[in-house]
Chain A
Amino acid sequence: MAAQIEFKKVSKIYVRGGEKLIVLDAMDFSVASGEFIALMGPSGSGKSTILNLAGGLDVPDQGEVHVAGTRVDALRGSALAAWRSRHVGFVFQSFNLVPVLTALENVMLPLNLQPLSKAQRRQQAEYALEIVGLQDRMHHRPRQLSGGQEQRVAIARALATDPDILLADEPTGDLDRASADAVMELMRRLNEEMKKTILMVTHDLAAAGKAGKTMRLDKGVLVEALREAAVR
C-alpha cells in the first residue's frame, strides 16, 4: 500500500537556554494509507514534533517529510497553508475551538478556505457535526459545551474538508474516561468506515488500543516500530 506519510532521515533540534536538544534524530518511518497509528512515549520524546512536521506546522532541520504525495518541508507561506487546508485535519488535546464562534462556525472554518458556496459549506459542516453526533449543538458556543462535546466538534472540524489524514495530539488528554472512550470510538469509526489515515499521539493505553498499530519513541528515536495494537 502506498505511504501516506513518510519521514526520511528527519532530524529536529531545539536550542533552549543555549543548549541543543535533539528532539528527532534521523528518523525514518512511513504510514500507509488508511492506517491508524498511535504514537506513544514519554514527554519530550518527540511525538508532538512528528505531528507538527507531518502537518507542516514546523519544519525539520534535516531530512524530508512527504505527506499525501507532497514534500511538505519544501513548502512555505501561502502554498503550505493551502496544502494544509486541503490534506490535513488537526485534533488537539485542549480542543482549541475559536471561542467567539459557534460549533457550526468552528466546523465551517476550514471550509471557508475552499471554493464552495455558503450553502455547500454549511451543508458539509452540518454533515460533519452529524457524524460526531452533535447536530443538535451546532449553534452553541464552545463554553456552552462539555469537554467531550468540544473535542467532538474539533474532530468534526478536522473532518469537514474530507482530508486524507487526521493528526491528533492527545485527543483524550483532557477528557474523563467516558468522554475519552466516546472520542476514541469515533476515531476508530473514521478510520474503519471513512478510511481516514490517522496519526495520533497519546499517553493513554486504552486510547492507543483503539489504533491499529503503535509506535514507541524515546529521546527522538523509534524504539518500537509499528507494533500491532493489543486491544481494539
Chain B
Amino acid sequence: MSATPWILSFRHPRVHWIRSGLTVFAMGLAFFLLCFLISLLTSLNSAVTQASSARLFMQSSVSLYVDLPRGYEAQIRGVDGVDDVTPFQWFGGYYQSPKNFFAQFGVKPDSFFPMYEREMAIVEGPGGVTGAAAGPAALEALRADRRGCLIGADLGRKYGWKVGDTVPVMGTIFQLEGGAAWDFKVVGLYEPLKSNVDGMTMWFRQDYLLESLDAGLASGPDGCGAYAINLEPGADSAAVIAAVDGLFTNGPQRTTTTTEGAFQAGFVSMMGNVPMFVAMIGGAIVVAVFFAVINALLLAGRQRVAETGILKALGFSDGAIARSMLGEAALLTALGVALGVGLTKGMETGIRGSLGTMIPNFAVADQTLLLGVGSLLVVGAVSGLAPAVLLARLRPTQALRNEG
C-alpha cells in the first residue's frame, strides 16, 4: 500500500494551516463547551446522586429559613430506627466583603464528624499533623477551643488560610454586638470524599453560636435550620420519616423529613429551569460549531477535486483517494480532541474556583470526557467520510475538469 495518501493527509493541513488551525480550534472549543455544560448539570446533580441512602433530613414544614427548636434533637434520637442525629445551623456570613461569600455551618462535632466520616476526610490537623493522626488531632483541638472550625482544603487555598489562622467572618443572620466579626480559629483542613460534601465549607461549633445568643452577646434566631438523621442498618426510612414527623404534628414547629437525596434535589430545583435553559443554549452553540467543522472539511474535500483527478490518472485507486481524505479528517479530529481535553482539564480548577459556592463540586467526569471524545469522533467520521466518498466516486475526467 502506497504511503502517498497518508503523506497528503499530513501535508494538506500543514499547507492550509490557517483553515486547519481554525478547524482544530473550533473542534477543541466545541469539545470544551460540550464537556463544560454537561459537567455543569452533572455537578449540580452530583449531590443528589451521591447522597447517602441511610440519611434523612428534617426541616420546618414552613421553610428551610424557619428554624427548628433545639429540643427536637433528643426526641428524634428516641425514635426506633434512628441511629444518630446532628443539627445543622446555616450561618450565612462572609469574609471581609459580601462578595467573599462561602458556606458556614454550626454543627456538633461529636455527632457530625462521625456521621460524615465516609464522606469527608480530615487531612491536616494542628501542628501540621497529616495522615491518620490528622482527624483525631483536629477534633481534639475543636473540642478544646469553642471558636475552632474545620475548613475545606479548597476554601483554605482560595483565601490562603492555614491551620492555626484566625478567620474573621461577618455575620448576616447572626450578628455580634457592635457589628463585630466572629472570630473562628482553623484547627483542621478536610477534603471531600463524595460530592454531597463540598470543599468550600466551614464547619464550626454550634455551641459557640448558641452560647453567644444565650449570653446576649449576639442576635439571631434560636434553634437550628435542619437535623441530619442517620438510620440504623435495615431501618425502614418511610416508617422513620412518618414517626419523626408525627412527633411534631402539633408543633411547636411542624416538620418535613425527606431522604438526603430528596433534600439535595430541593436545592437543585430552586434554580428552576436555568440548568435546562443553559443546556439548550449551549447545545445549540455546540451543534452550530460542529456544522462549521463539517463545512470546513467538506471545503477541504472540494479543494482536492483536481488533485483527485491527477492521482486517479496516475493510477491511484479510489480507496487511496478516500484514505487520503479520511486521514486528514482523522488528523484534525485527533488534534481537536487533544486541544479539547487540554482546555477542559486545564480550566477545570479555574472554573470550579469561579463558580465558587454556586456549584462547589464542579468536576469533569471521565464519562463526560469520553462523551466529548465520542462526539468529536462522530463529527470527524461524518465530515471525513462525506468528502472521501464523493472524491472516491468521481470519475477521473470529471475530477480533472474540476466538476466535483
State the A residues within 8 Å of B (CB).
52, 55, 57-58, 77-78, 81-86, 90, 92, 96-101, 105, 109-110, 112-113, 157
Contact = CB atoms under 8 A, between A and B. Distances in A.
A58 B400 CA distance: 12
Given A96-B306, A96-B400, A112-B3, A81 B312 contact: yes
Nearest to A169: B400
A82 B397 contact: no
Given A90-B313, A110-B315, A98 B2 contact: no
A90 B12 contact: no
Number of contact residues on B: which range applies? Answer: 20 to 34
A105 B3 CA distance: 12
Contacts of A98: 8, 307, 310-311
A58 to B, nearest CB: 5
B397 A109 contact: no
24 contacts: A55-B313, A57-B396, A57-B397, A78-B317, A81-B315, A81-B317, A82-B315, A85-B314, A96-B306, A96-B400, A98-B307, A98-B310, A98-B311, A99-B15, A100-B8, A100-B14, A101-B8, A110-B314, A112-B2, A113-B2, A113-B4, A113-B314, A113-B315, A113-B316
Contacts of B314: 84-85, 90, 109-110, 113, 157
Q: Which 8 A-B pairs have the closest CB atoms?
A: A85-B315, A57-B396, A84-B315, A100-B11, A100-B15, A112-B2, A110-B314, A112-B4
A109 B313 CA distance: 11
Contacts of A81: 312, 315-318
A9 to B, nearest CB: 21
Interface of B: 2-4, 7-8, 11-12, 14-15, 306-307, 309-319, 395-397, 400
A90 B400 CA distance: 12
A185 to B, nearest CB: 24
A77 B3 contact: no
Nearest to B310: A96
Contacts of A109: 4, 310-311, 314
Contacts of A101: 7-8, 11
A113 B320 CA distance: 11
Given A100-B15, A113-B2, A57 B311 contact: no
B21 to A, nearest CB: 16
A82 B4 CA distance: 15
A1 B155 CA distance: 94
A206 to B, nearest CB: 25
Given A90-B313, A90-B314, A58 B4 contact: no
A45 B3 CA distance: 39
A97 B311 CA distance: 10
B317 A77 contact: yes
A170 to B, nearest CB: 12
Contacts of B397: 52, 57-58
A100 B14 CA distance: 9
- Most-contacted residue by chain A among B11, B12, B400 (CB, 10 A): B400
Contacts of A58: 395-397
B402 to A, nearest CB: 9
Contacts of A97: 310
